[in-house]
Chain A
Amino acid sequence: MRRLHPRSAAVDAAQGGLQLGSLGLFGGFFLANEASVLPFSVALLLAPLGFLLGAGYQVGYYYRFSYELSEEELLVTSGVVGRQRREIPLERVQNVDVSRPALKRALGLAVVRFETAGGSSTEATLDAVDPDEADRLQRQAGPEARRRREGSAGDTTDEASDATGDGATAPSGSGGSAVGDAPAANGVGDANPGARVDDTEVVYEISNHELRVLSAVSFRPGAFAIPFVGIPLGGEDLVVRALQFVGIDLRAGLRELARLDPTTLALGAVALVAAYLLAVWLVSVVLTYLQYYGFRLERTGDELRYERGLVGRYSGTIPLGKVQTVRLGENVLMRQLGYAALAVETAGYAAGSGGDGGSETTVPLGVRGDVLELARDVLAASDDTGRYEASEELSGPDASDGFTDADASDGFADSNADEPTAAETAPVADPAFQQPAERARSRYVRRYLIGLGLVCVGLFGASRLTGLPTAAAGLPALVAPLTPLAARLKWRHRGYHETEWSLVTREGFWRRRTRIVPVFRLQTVLVSRTIFQRRWTLASVTADTASSAGGGAVVYDVGPEQAEELRVSLLDRLDNALSERRRAARERARRAAAGGERVGPSRAPAAGDEEPGEHAETARGDERREPHHNGSDAATSGEGRANDETEFQWVDGVDPDGTPTNGHHDDEG
């Protein structure tokens, strides 16, 4: 069993001691002076007592906390008063994040977080260990453990590597080939289970130029609040001066504003908005620069690992076999410049909690063609049956008539640089999108107009109460002619595309997001029709996965019949995909058995080998955790879980009777 880093214990002890010590100090003064229940001499003792208690608790925590990473699981025992012992099977681990915020980094410490699917928080946090140890944990819990599982299941050459035609073109190849070949190449397998994985390859590294572009073009939602924080810190003065510049004296009071002529007022408003946006942008630039400085992404076998950060360093792993959704993000500026960002979503719950949600970002900014290429590699590696490649070959010819952003009839099309790249590379994220129904556009226009109307009414009310000129209430109406344009843009950037293997959806003009959802990852399919959509006979289809990034892929505003068809076909394809995966897994198991290999029944190499954290832990003592979505009384939930545990053994693919459920549905409600 290993302990955390002693230096971290010392820091924690000092911190804990100071906390309780200061509490004791102030509490003591209060009790002696204000409440006069204690003699002053006794009260004086409270501060050192508090310090000792606080520091002692932390020291005790340090001595009671131990962890051990074995070949199959991570074991963590902790707790000073209530003891807790948690075992996390490594095959259930989704991400392993290592974060070194500025202070920890200065002290030479690193925090390691293990994420599993489900559970309301990070499954295990080691705060903090030596950076080298963090690195070892990350490697051993990830690629090396997976390698061993592959090895113990027999050295099967994956069908994926046979089916992959592009294995030669892409240096990393498909996951299948990388996983299949590597053990043989390294001469490891069950013979040498502790072998290190050395075939690491850098997939992407941010260049200085890209980092600057990224900082300039990304608007972080968080930055919008920050200028307000600056107002009490002298920003107020700046605002007043800026307004004085255009001839508005704020100090004269709000009533005075009513006497000013509209042009001055409008100028003032514009100046304010411009100053605010500039501040937001500057904050955004700095934050983005700090966050993504030195970003690099490497691939080790079937795992991606990123590293980033200027002040604090953060890294995290993304096992390719656990990919739920791949998301391409491009804001307006990125589209103009021919860049795109890539996010790979897994089911690890709190992934990114260490940084600022950055952990799911796989590539913050890259040349669009390269990003698409990487997306394709990731998708290919996420399905070890090789079905992705097969489906791509089928849909390949569509590449040429892929999405063309510059629709000639439309003057404001982004005549962007992505067309040539899209034509060159595979149409991962640029298939022929099917747009929402034509009438949805009228719906958006109406929606914007109603929104503007409401703003006008609000302003009118405000003008009655504050003395703003009534004419100001009419200002939003000036934007009204732009609503058809806005509606058209919204409409044009929404769309979906179905392939046998995946559902691709796209939305958003300002920040366009293209989601590629492998059909075999679907959890539920939902057709929803709001009261407004029903007026226009429209419906939206949500394809939900276990991705923790939330926001499943949504197909917006299609006709109800089309929505229903989509729902049925998604379920059908899910069924087909699963039975095919089951067949592939059985095949592998049989081959392994024929090869005289030992196959652990609970460790068969499953593709979708994860489940929620409630099974991934054995918690004892009074800190027993409840699964995240289990709010019911103990009796029923206990029963539910017991059922679950007995029925779901994850003996993936070694189903003896071998009857795959067939893709049959009745769907008339």
Chain B
Amino acid sequence: MQLQTLHPRVRLVWIASTLVSAGFLAGFGVAGDAFGVRLPVGPSPLVLFAGLATLVGLMGVVFAVLRYRVWGYEVRDDSLYLVRGVLTRRVSSVPFVRVQHVDTRRGPVERAVGLASVVVYTAGSRGADITVPGLTPDRATELRERLRELAADSDYDAV
């Protein structure tokens, strides 16, 4: 099996989530302007926060594109293999023996663009739940079932 890529539309999901924070920043600026807040130095709050919001939004877009390029997963013989991370590149292996349970999850934005995520839970202390985003609902269900079967096949002490 090859390294699987995510669905391209997952970028929209990521961009949407940064747009929310950018929106909050812009909101601060507008609110500050409405109440007539002025900083001792520098530009007016509206300009400042509008600038910040634009910056965050742009960064969000760039990161979404880069993250999509990096992301990959593969169901191997005895483990789930994942590559992800823009600034910190992370390669993780989750042995099927260690899988506690598997969820599919669909947030509002994901539903809007017709995508789903699979969440794999282990008993580990850091990164105990690993999310594979950007899957079509069918693919998500398929992955979940597959992982479930593989985990069940290797039923032995999960901790």
What is the interface of chain A, defined by CB distance below 8 A to chain B?
Answer: 117-118, 324, 347, 521-531, 534, 542, 544-552, 564, 567, 571, 574-575, 578, 581-582, 606-612, 629-630, 632-633, 636-637, 639-641, 643-644, 647-653, 655, 661, 664-667, 669
Q: A643-B102, A664-B77, A669-B91 are in contact. Are A552 and B121 (CB under 8 A)?
A: no
The answer to whether the Cβ of B146 comes within 8 Å of any Cβ in the partner chain is: no
- Whether the pair B119, A647 counts as a contact (CB closer than 8 A) is no
Known: A636-B103, A636-B104, A643-B148. A548 touches B125 (CB 8 A): yes
Asked if residues A607 and B103 are in contact (CB atoms below 8 Å), the reply is no
Assuming the contacts A542-B126, A545-B124, asked whether A524 and B93 have C-beta atoms less than 8 A apart, the reply is: yes
| Nearest CB in chain A: distance from B116 CB, A | 10
Does chain A have a CB within 8 A of B158? yes
Which one of A546, A643, A653 lies within 8 Å of B123 (CB-CB)?
A546
Contacting pair A524 B148 (CB below 8 A): no
Hey, which chain B residues are within 8 Å of A544, CB to CB? 124-127
A53 to chain B, nearest CB (A): 41
Cβ of B21 under 8 Å from chain A: no
Residue of chain B at shortest CB distance from A575:
B78
- A117-B123, A636-B105, A666-B76 given; A582·B87 CB < 8 A: no
Q: In the complex the two chains form, is B103's CB within 8 Å of A523's CB? A: no
Q: Does B94 touch A at the CB level, under 8 Å?
A: yes
Chain B residue, CB-CB nearest to A548: B125
Say whether, besides A523-B123, A629-B129, A529 and B89 are in contact (CB < 8 Å): yes
Say whether A524 contacts B78, CB under 8 Å.
Answer: no
CB pair A528–B89 under 8 Å, yes or no, is: yes
Residues of B within 8 A of A665 (CB): 76-79
Residues of A within 8 A of B129 (CB): 629
A611 touches B88 (CB 8 A): no
In this assembly, does B92 line the interface, its C-beta being within 8 Å of a C-beta of chain A? yes
B159 touches A522 (CB 8 A): no
Specify which chain A residues have a CB less than 8 angstroms from the CB of B155 in the assembled complex: 647-651, 655
Q: List 8 A-B contacts (CB under 8 A).
A: A525-B93, A582-B156, A608-B157, A610-B157, A611-B100, A639-B103, A655-B156, A669-B72
Return the chain A residue nearest B102 by Cβ: A640
Count of chain A to chain B residue pairs whose CB atoms are closer than 8 Å in the complex: 163
Query: Which residues of chain B (70-129) have a CB below 8 Å from chain A?
Result: 72, 74, 76-79, 81, 83, 85, 87-95, 97-98, 100-105, 119, 121-129
Q: How far is the CA of A629 from the CA of B100 in the complex (A)?
A: 11
In the complex with contacts A524-B98, A544-B125, A571-B103 CB distance below 8 A = no
Question: Is B152 interfacial (CB-CB < 8 Å)?
Answer: yes
Interface contact A652-B157, CB-CB below 8 Å: yes
Cross-chain contact A612 with B91 (CB below 8 angstroms): no
Please indicate the chain A residues that have their CB under 8 angstroms from the CB of B76 in the complex.
665-667
A667 cross-chain contacts in B, Cβ below 8 A: 76, 81
Q: How far is the CB of A532 from chain B (nearest CB, A)?
A: 9
Distance (whole angstroms) from the CB of B90 to the closest CB of chain A: 5
B87 CB to nearest A CB, Å: 5
Q: Which residues of B contact A (CB under 8 A)?
A: 3, 72, 74, 76-79, 81, 83, 85, 87-95, 97-98, 100-105, 119, 121-130, 148, 151-152, 154-159
The listed residue (A530, A574, A607, A633) touching B95 by CB distance below 8 A is A574
Check A567 against B91 for contact (C-beta < 8 Å).
yes
Let me know if A644 and B101 touch, CB within 8 A. Answer: yes
Q: Which 5 A-B pairs have the closest CB atoms?
A: A608-B157, A523-B124, A647-B152, A644-B101, A546-B123
A347 touches B101 (CB 8 A): no
Is A531's CB under 8 angstroms from B88's CB? yes
CA distance A667 to B74 in the complex (A): 10
CB pair B157–A609 under 8 Å, yes or no, is yes
Name the residue on A nearest B119 (C-beta). Answer: A632
Q: Which residue of B lies closest to A606 (CB)?
A: B157
* A652 contact set on B, CB distance < 8 A: 156-157
Contacting residues, chain A, for B122 (C-beta < 8 A) = 523-524
A92: nearest chain-B partner, CB-CB:
B159
Closest CB in chain A relative to B141 CB, distance in Å: 11
- CA gap between A650 and B158 in the complex, in Å: 9
The CA of A237 and the CA of B74, in the complex, are separated in Å by 65
Given contacts A610-B159, A661-B154, A669-B83, contact A528 B123 (CB under 8 A): no
CB B135 to nearest CB in A, in angstroms, measures 14
Docked Cα-Cα span, A534 to B86, in Å, equals: 11
Given A117-B123, A526-B127, A581-B156, 6 other A-B residues pairs in contact with their CB atoms under 8 A: A567-B91, A571-B95, A637-B103, A640-B103, A647-B155, A669-B72
- Chain A residue numbers with a CB within 8 Å of B74 are 669
Q: List residues of chain A with CB within 8 A of the CB of B3.
A: 669
- Are B79 and A571 neighbours in the complex by a CB distance under 8 Å? yes
Closest residue of chain A to B83 (Cβ to Cβ) is A669
Closest to A525 in B: B93
Contact of B124 among A530, A546, A611 (CB under 8 A): A546
**B residues in contact with A647, CB < 8 Å:** 148, 151-152, 155
Bound Cα distance from A661 to B128, whole angstroms = 23
Q: How far is the CA of A510 from the CA of B148 in the complex (A)?
A: 45
Q: Once the chains are docked, how many angstroms separate the CA of A181 from the CA of B115?
A: 58
Q: Are B125 and A552 in contact (CB under 8 A)?
A: yes
Nearest CB in chain A: distance from B17 CB, A: 16
Report the Cα distance A550→B98, complex, angstroms.
17
Whole-angstrom distance between the alpha carbons of A666 and B78 in the complex?
10
A661: which B residues are within 8 A, CB to CB? 77-78, 154
Residues of chain A contacted by B79 (CB below 8 angstroms): 571, 665
B121 contact set on A, CB distance < 8 A:
629-630, 640
**Which residues on the A side are within 8 Å of B103 (C-beta)?**
630, 632, 636-637, 639-640
Are B94 and A524 closer than 8 Å at their CB atoms? yes
Q: List, in ascending order, chain B residues with CB within 8 A of A611's CB.
A: 100, 123, 157-159
How far in angstroms is the closest Cβ of chain A from B154?
Answer: 6
Q: A571-B79, A647-B152, A669-B74 are in contact. Are A526 and B92 (CB under 8 A)?
A: yes
Measured in the bound complex, the distance between the Cα atoms of B91 and A117 in whole Å is 26
**Distance in Å: Cβ of B140 to nearest Cβ of chain A:** 10
In the complex with contacts A544-B127, A643-B102, A607-B91 CB distance below 8 A: no
Complex contact A528–B154 (CB within 8 A): no
With a cutoff of 8 Å between Cβ atoms, the chain B residues found around residue A649 in the complex are: 155
Q: Report chain A residues within 8 Å CB of B94.
A: 523-524
In this complex, what residue of B is CB-closest to A529? B89
Q: Check if B97 sits within 8 Å of A578, measured CB to CB.
A: yes
Instruction: Considering the complex, give the chain B residue whose CB is closest to the CB of A572.
Output: B78
B108 to chain A, nearest CB (A): 11
Q: Complex: how many Å from CA A53 to CA B159?
A: 45
Select one of A324, A523, A637, A664 contacting B98, CB under 8 A: A523
Contact for A546 among B92, B102, B125, CB less than 8 A: B125
